[in-house]
Amino acid sequence: MRKLWLIRHGHPDFPLGAHMCLGRTDTPLGPLGRMQAVLLGEALRDQKPAVFASPLARCRETAAPLGGEAVLVPALAEQDMGPWDGLDFNTIKARWPELYARRSGEPLLVPSGAETLAEVQRRVTPALRECVSACEGDLAVVAHASVIQAILAEVCGVSLDESRPLRIPYASYALLRCDDTITLEQGASRPCPPLTQALADKLLRAAAPGNRIEAHCRAVAAEALRIAAALPLALDKELLASAALLHDVARTEKDHARLGAAWLRELGYEKAAALVEQHHDWQGDTIDEAAVLFLADKCVKEDRRVSIKERFAESEGRCTTPEARAAHARRGDAALRLKNEINEICGKTVVE
């Protein structure tokens, strides 16, 4: 019996928590979505399915780590939402208040000029069967929320009016079985393999490919492991190195430590997220993995190891408000305190 992974694409390139009517708007994956695609690739790595995908960028990019070249199927494109397509829901609510209000009780309601879910189902159901017929083994189909909802409603014999619970989250998949008929084997699942250094490295390359952030993260990971190796403490070095590799994945965004932690939590890696959240402004009182990551980050400028004094002297000039200067001083004091404690514990100069 053949397997069919029905996969929703990863998180698009808009802020985590944003609410948009994306539809046919061809938005690529953001950093979180690219990391989610890596995890999907890890989950299916040994399965080697034939891959089919919607032609929209967010599906093509999600399909890329699954192995082989995806066959693009135009009929798998997302529901065309007409005049709402590409708008955030606050804008939609302001422009179409009455229609928007009705959707709470009529979730299938769409504006004039948009595609209905019934129309989506009529085009995607035969498209899925054509994908099944086009290969002999297992297959993966990368598509969109409404497309998958329509397919699962058909497979499960559920009316479209009652199909809303069949929608699956970003970067999740439903597992189907293909025999004489297509049946649902398992509902929405999201892969979350153990976070090793090797996997963290793949996630880093996906989120920040080939740029200065990637080089900085590698240097901080090496420094964190160097400090940890000198300490006579039972630190989780795999967790430390993995979190260090990912500590700056959101570096170009506002409040990057919190956002990077939110991305890792979305991926399912709570322990690493807790370290990433503290790497910029640690305020603990114990030398643990979070403390070592914080200090390692303060010992690295770009991809070069430096002294604490040099690191903070260089960054001081960027603090232009009293609040920023106070926070800078607090972080500098914490780094110096950690430096002195670690050097004393080790009985030698580990950190300059």
> What was the pLDDT predicted at 211?
81
The CATH 1.10.3210 domain(s) of the chain lie at: 197-346
Which pLDDT score, from 0 to 100, does residue 323 have?
Answer: 83
Residue 95 three-state SS: helix
Fold of 2-189: Rossmann fold (3.40.50)
CATH 3.40.50.1240 placement within the chain? 2-189
pLDDT in tens, the chain (352 residues): 899 999 999 999 987 777 889 999 999 999 999 999 999 999 999 999 999 999 999 999 999 999 889 999 999 999 999 999 999 999 999 999 999 999 989 999 999 999 999 999 999 999 999 999 999 999 999 999 999 999 999 999 999 999 999 999 999 999 999 988 999 999 999 999 999 999 999 999 999 877 899 999 999 999 999 999 999 999 999 999 999 999 999 998 889 999 999 999 999 999 999 999 999 999 889 999 999 999 999 999 999 999 998 888 877 777 778 887 887 889 889 899 999 999 999 999 999 9
- Inter-residue contact 129 to 119 (CB < 8 Å): no
DSSP 82: G
CATH code, residues 197-346: 1.10.3210
Q: Give the strand order in the sheet containing 139-143.
A: 71-72, 50-53, 139-143, 2-8, 173-178, 182-189
pTM for the full model?
A: 0.95
pLDDT at 99: 94
Q: Give which of 76, 79, 89 is closest to 21, Cα–Cα.
A: 89
